[in-house]
């Protein structure tokens, strides 16, 4: 505060209001503008700071904070507030997550192939599409199903993927213990599949779709035992298959959520 030349004040009192410090110099008489504001707002006035006292107790500024102009928004308190913006936001966030994980899934597949040696990655190499317990590729008619039904299938596949990716990671830790980035990508993929599956399930609940029933226990233990006894090459092929299915289902989930996302096809 800039004081005019020759101005003298007997006393300076400091208050804190709304988290900011400001000083008001006065000569013991309450300024008119302060009195008017106090009367209009119903505040009880200031307390002077006293030596040896600090904090809100000494400053007494709490009574000066006017009540909020509007009460906090509570969508449940007003039935006229539409939940549609919340649903659109949830769909858009889940769609963005699926789009990001689609890129990660492609990187995982490339990283996996890179560490398997020949003939993986060679031009013209076409590994057998081994069946995987609890999981298959999206059916040819998947895109023709209603969107809620597609999302149920997406969520079920995403729930089946984490234990399979864990099996692949453990086998790769034995075959390629120095491939730390691959092992980290496999671990991240399992965690990301769980997160995306939970987000899709939340979207289904927001849409009012029926919740899924109890799901049978995954056959990951049986798959792990099979990869150990089957030999190195079949284990590598199975891992390639699981990584490929992860990419397919994450990409399929992205496309299905795109049907619901704002700006998506009708």
pLDDT along the chain (266 residues), means of 10: 43 39 45 59 48 46 42 44 72 96 97 94 86 89 94 96 95 95 97 97 89 59 60 92 97 95 65
Is CATH 3.40.470.10 the right assignment for the domain spanning 84-260? no
Listed residue (137, 201, 135, 199) closest to 168, CA to CA: 135
Residues 6+ apart with CB under 8 A from 197: 155, 158, 159
What pLDDT is recorded for position 74? 47
What pLDDT is recorded for position 127? 87
Residue 182: other Cβ atoms inside 10 A:
22
CA–CA distance, 195 with 199 (Å, rounded to integer)? 6
Whole-structure pTM value: 0.65
> Two tokens at 183?
């092992």
CA–CA distance, 47 with 56 (Å, rounded to integer)? 10
CA–CA distance, 96 with 89 (Å, rounded to integer)? 11
Residues 6+ apart with CB under 8 A from 261: 91, 92, 95
Radius of gyration of the chain (CA): 32
What pLDDT is recorded for position 130? 81
What pLDDT is recorded for position 169? 96
């Amino acid at each position: 505060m800039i004081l005019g030349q020759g101005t003298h004040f007997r006393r300076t009192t400091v208050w804190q209001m709304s988290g900011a410090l400001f000083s008001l110099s006065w000569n013991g008489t309450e300024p008119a503008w302060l009195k008017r504001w106090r009367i209009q707002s119903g505040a009880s006035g200031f307390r002077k700071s006293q030596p040896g006292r600090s904090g809100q107790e000494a400053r007494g500024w709490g009574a000066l904070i006017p009540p909020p102009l509007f009460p906090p928004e509570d969508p449940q308190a007003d039935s006229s507030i539409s939940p549609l913006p919340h649903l659109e936001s949830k769909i858009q966030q889940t769609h963005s997550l699926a789009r990001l994980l689609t890129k990660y899934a492609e990187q995982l597949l490339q990283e996996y192939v890179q560490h398997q040696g020949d003939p993986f990655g060679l031009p013209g190499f076409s590994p057998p599409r081994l069946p995987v317990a609890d999981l298959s590729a999206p059916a040819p008619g998947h895109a023709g199903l209603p969107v809620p039904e597609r999302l149920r299938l997406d969520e079920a596949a995403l729930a089946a993927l984490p234990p399979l990716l864990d099996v692949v990671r453990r086998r790769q830790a034995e075959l390629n213990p120095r491939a730390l980035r691959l092992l980290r990508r496999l671990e991240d993929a399992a965690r990301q599949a769980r997160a995306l599956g939970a987000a899709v399930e939340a979207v289904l609940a927001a849409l009012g779709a029926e919740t899924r029933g109890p799901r049978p226990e995954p056959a990951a233990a049986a798959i792990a035992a099979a990869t150990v006894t089957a030999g190195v090459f079949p284990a590598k092929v199975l891992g390639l298959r699981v990584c490929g299915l992860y990419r397919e289902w994450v990409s399929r989930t992205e496309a299905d959520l795109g049907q619901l996302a704002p700006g998506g096809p009708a």
